[in-house]
Chains A and B, each alone.
Chain A
Amino acid sequence: DAGITQSPRHKVTETGTPVTLRCHQTENHRYMYWYRQDPGHGLRLIHYSYGVKDTDKGEVSDGYSVSRSKTEDFLLTLESATSSQTSVYFCAISESEENNEQFFGPGTRLTVL
């Protein structure tokens, strides 16, 4: 299994509070992704990174920001959490863009009250 961890695994927070989710990999893969998964929807890309300090927006980036200061860490921040951001968040990594077989972390279940 690819070495990917996410922290925290579960979080309950209140509307308006900032939240940071962490993804850590030990595979030295160049590409890292943050997705959210909601019932009835496919995985939706929030942001992705193609190298240290190189990030770009995905399909549902509003209300989220990311940072990647080291190859192994990719942080997702909700500046001011809203109830619509209640979801399961998955981090994924891939070695190449062309093949793009992605390996997923275990997920973080976030509840915003």
Chain B
Amino acid sequence: GQNIDQPTEMTATEGAIVQINCTYQTSGFNGLFWYQQHAGEAPTFLSYNVLDGLEEKGRFSSFLSRSKGYSYLLLKELQMKDSASYLCAALDSNYQLIWGAGTKLIIKP
């Protein structure tokens, strides 16, 4: 079956760095997405990786290892507004997104 695993909840301190991990098992693979979702709101796109390596976009970076079925989202210089859920999703061989349950990130002052 197809599966996405990510931690349910993480806590970090304002100004620090946090890494949210995601492992995936899908039938075929066409890329890995990260979305941010604030409570009560819609998910919004953060990043897309299809090749191995690190993609950096401001304070956020995303890494992919296809051979390991592994990705992480790295958030630097954490701000209170980064408190949200972070959703990992893998694009399978049918170009359908398979979603993880999300990681709730709590930022403390």
- A29 contacts chain B at the CB level, 8 A cutoff: no
In the bound complex, residues from chain A placing their C-beta under 8 Å from that of B48 are 99, 101
Inter-subunit contact B96/A45 (CB<8 Å): yes
Number of A interface residues at 8 Å Cβ cutoff, please give it.
20
B30-65: which residues lie under 8 A (CB-CB) from chain A?
Answer: 30-31, 33, 41-45, 48
Bound-state CA distance A100–B30 (Å) is 10
Q: Are B101's CB and A98's CB within 8 A?
A: no
Q: Size band of the B side of the interface?
A: 20 to 34
Instruction: Judge whether B84 is part of the interface by a CB distance below 8 angstroms.
Output: no
Cβ-closest chain A residue relative to B96: A45
Interface of A is mostly: loop
A42 in complex: contacting residue of B44, B96, B99, CB < 8 Å: B99
Binary per-residue interface labels of chain A (26-57) against chain B in the complex, 1 for a CB within 8 Å, 0 otherwise: 00000000000000111111001000000000
**CA A103 – CA B42 in complex, angstroms?**
9
Q: Would A104 and B44 be within 8 Å (CB), given that A42-B87, A43-B87 are in contact?
A: yes
CB pair A102 B42 closer than 8 Å? no
Q: Is A62 an interface residue (CB 8 A)?
A: no
